[in-house]
Chains A and B, each alone.
Chain A
């Protein structure tokens, strides 16, 4: 038996949405190098829809696959849907992860949530700037 499902290997070997969005308006970074996993998500949100998303990940095969799958799951989706994305959904979409790798899918969820928070912060700052 292989370590990972075919889905995980597909996303690990051919990761989708890899890279950086220079004019991203929502960026989330979670994890730390000490633990061996860092995920960074760049989102371009327009009209409450994730128009584009890219990621950079330092981590194991399942961390890279989880990032890739998560970006596919939120691309083109309205924020109302994106904010409800769970690590469970990412894991299921990957046809499962080994028990000790579940935290990789949690990181993917957290990276997206962190990007959404960044977006909200920017909106608030932007709006208060307009008022002034």
Chain B
């Protein structure tokens, strides 16, 4: 049995994307900046991809800037808004404690450059409260950046409400939608989003390509200086095969979204119900406001890396927020942010379901996780102390 259950890390490429890219690589090698025919054909392909992507998120084509992926888009959006703010004496940014490192590390750099950053509480359920975002806004706030859905625990944030608040206060609003673009229907108009980051490989497109939506009129500076590509906002010849593959993948994902989400939610809830039967375990993040494929758990008395290795032996590809899987001594900042203590955060498991997963996979995974957790607990001194009453259970 081979089960891929790490769709939040990356996804298998869709046939539609592979076909579109193969055709592009075979037939359209022209440079979109060249004026002769094959260059202009490539340009047409590029603009068609831009239109397709824009229409999925209810944007205008000129508001889409192609990047190397989500991290670059995050960096560019935050840097652009911060620089514009600084020029007007505004040096305060609001974000959350459980953003992706592409956001948090950019904010760290800005702090070193004199910015002040407020990180909103994400609470025990992993969902921020819009009223707390509003309360944090000051006259000198130039940007609010809140992820659309969390990459580890899958919780979906009240983006529409935050967008409305930011618009009301005249503050720019960025959302890292790397996990959401694909499974979540996004409408940048209705949700008052000024900047949005997305990455193709999370929705069955190729790696190394993504896009930044930047609303018409918002500040946008290039991180890569060069030619006039992307309206001068991103130098370098466009990754045309990647962009074409991304557009094909997003179009397909959007078309299948409704039916696929219903199917995934059923599988997700079955998996959650099965894993809940393991004593002294807990689901991480809100049970309702979460991505259709995300299951994140903590199991007391065991460590995540050994759990992953044993699941891998059983053919299951999964992920964990344990320190040992990150190469640092601290467990995931996301789990700490929702109030999981270190001892428990080390025993975390993330299973993210996608297109290829079946009910049979889910049942196999429930049985496998139960086995492995029981096995690891059988020789865990932490579990022994919990069982004997020497220490108290946390979960």
Could you list which residues of chain A lie within 8 angstroms of chain B, going by C-beta atoms?
A: 3, 9, 12-13, 15, 18-19, 29, 33-40, 55-61, 63-64, 100-101
Contact = CB atoms under 8 A, between A and B. Distances in A.
A18 B305 CA distance: 19
B201 interface: no
A18 B342 contact: no
Contact of B303 (A3, A40, A60, A100): A60
A33 B306 CA distance: 14
B379 A36 contact: no
Interface residues of B, number: 25
Contact of B342 (A29, A33, A58, A101): A33
A43 B355 CA distance: 51
Given A29-B381, A34-B343, A58 B309 contact: no
Contacts of A3: 309
B248 to A, nearest CB: 33
Given A33-B343, A35-B323, A36-B323, A59 B379 contact: no
Contacts of B379: 15, 18-19, 55-57
Interface string B281-309: 00000000000000000000111111001
A15 B306 CA distance: 12
B305 A60 contact: yes
Interface in B331-382: 331, 341-343, 346, 379-382
A115 to B, nearest CB: 13
Interface string B114-156: 0000000000000000000000000000000000000000000
A58 B324 contact: no
Interface string B142-173: 00000000000000000000000000000000
A36 B303 contact: yes
A40 B383 CA distance: 12
